[in-house]
């Protein structure tokens, strides 16, 4: 739930990538490395669901396409590349940070390629697919650099404090060597229970406060330029048949609280509400999934016993 909320907050921070164009974190690589590819897809799905329901950003009818493109594509590509790189690089924190940088960098243009394929299959305007491909991949390579920096800094920071909480770092620690009779031998494997039992309260509180500050305060200074997809859609004429969002008049549409005239307060409050809602929704989803898996495991043990 915390990872989903953090990604929601950082997605509000559009950064400039070219003249009149901005980008924002997709988050698939970050989620996959921190909590694994399967849970990572759930994280991104929760974020997209909250954005569509509360903020008129995306929507339920577009949820499948958004999850496929921003969730599944980015997590699968990033995690596969990350695991491949850490398998050949030295087992160090720096190597994992570098691997997360490269994985995130590649995942963004990969999502642009998938979008181009989706547009080729179901696009409603007569625009040459080659032009769409060139424009989408070109701008999203630049956005990928920002994605890579955010992902690498976050992964590196968590590994430095609590490497046991980084899914992508599991099993990557070199075995401890002991000198016995003049020879180096592998030390007995350490019990993982004490590490697993360490409190995550401090990390959770730090992450939540960071997300609230980013969404509630820093987001006010985000770039107001259209993001990569919006820019390409406008330049190439893809948006000729777009229609207003069905929830455009909702209280939190466009990441602002209706009836609050001060833009800073309106946007900040909307960001804080979004972070809170994402934490609650995400934690609820993951609690339900975990409970179901636990129950399935108990049922399986019962059948074996019988």
Chain segment 122-153, per-residue pLDDT in tens: 887 788 889 999 999 999 999 999 999 999 99
More confident residue, 77 or 303: 77
In the predicted model, is pLDDT for residue 106 greater than 80?
yes
Residue range 9-55, pLDDT digits in tens: 999 999 999 888 999 999 999 999 999 999 999 999 999 999 999 99
Give the lowest-confidence range in 12-21, 40-49, 234-243, 256-265: 234-243
Whether 11 maps to a domain, the answer reads yes
pLDDT at residue 62 in the model: 87
Of the candidate ranges 83-92, 188-197, 205-214, 267-276, the one whose mean pLDDT is the lowest = 188-197
The model's pTM: 0.85
Q: Residue 181: helix, strand or coil by DSSP?
A: coil
Q: Is 252 exposed, middle or buried (0-12, 13-18, 19+ CB in 10 A)?
A: buried
Do the domain assignments include residue 180? Answer: no
Helical H segments across the chain, by residue range: 2-11, 28-35, 37-55, 63-66, 74-88, 93-122, 129-161, 193-196, 201-216, 228-236, 263-305
The gap from C-alpha 71 to its chain's centroid, in whole angstroms, comes to 8
The parent domain of residue 277 ranges over: 2-172+201-305
The enclosing domain of 79 has a CATH number of 1.10.1760.20
Quote the number of domains for the chain.
1
- Residue 150 counted as domain residue: yes
Residue 184 resides in a domain = no
Residue 114 lies in a domain: yes
């Amino acid at each position: 739930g915390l990872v989903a909320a953090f990604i929601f907050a950082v997605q509000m921070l559009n950064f400039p990538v070219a003249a009149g164009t901005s980008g924002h974190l997709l988050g698939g690589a970050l989620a996959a490395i921190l909590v694994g590819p399967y849970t990572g897809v759930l994280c991104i799905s929760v974020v997209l669901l909250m954005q569509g329901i509360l903020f008129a950003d995306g929507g339920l009818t577009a949820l499948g396409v958004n999850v496929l493109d921003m969730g599944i594509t980015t997590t699968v590509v990033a995690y596969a590349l990350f695991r491949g790189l850490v398998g050949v690089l030295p087992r160090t924190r720096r190597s994992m940070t570098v691997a997360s940088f490269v994985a995130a960098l590649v995942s963004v243009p990969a999502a642009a390629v998938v979008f181009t394929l989706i547009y080729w299959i179901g696009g409603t305007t007569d625009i040459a697919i080659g032009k769409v491909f060139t424009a989408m991949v070109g701008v999203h390579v630049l956005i990928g650099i920002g994605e890579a920096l955010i992902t690498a800094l976050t992964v590196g920071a968590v590994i430095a404090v609590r490497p046991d909480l980084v899914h992508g770092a599991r099993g990557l620690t070199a075995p401890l060597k002991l000198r016995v009779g003049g020879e180096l031998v592998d030390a007995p494997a350490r019990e993982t229970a004490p590490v697993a039992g360490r409190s995550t309260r401090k990390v959770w509180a730090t992450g939540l406060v960071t997300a609230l500050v980013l969404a509630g305060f820093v987001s006010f200074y985000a770039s107001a330029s259209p993001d990569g997809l919006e820019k390409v859609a406008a330049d190439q004429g893809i948006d000729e048949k777009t229609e207003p969002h069905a929830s455009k008049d909702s209280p939190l549409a466009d990441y602002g609280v209706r009836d609050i005239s001060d833009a800073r307060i309106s946007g900040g409050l909307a960001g804080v509400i979004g972070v809170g809602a994402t934490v609650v929704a995400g934690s609820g989803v993951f609690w339900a999934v975990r409970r179901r898996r636990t129950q399935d495991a108990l049922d399986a043990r019962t059948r074996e016993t019988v």
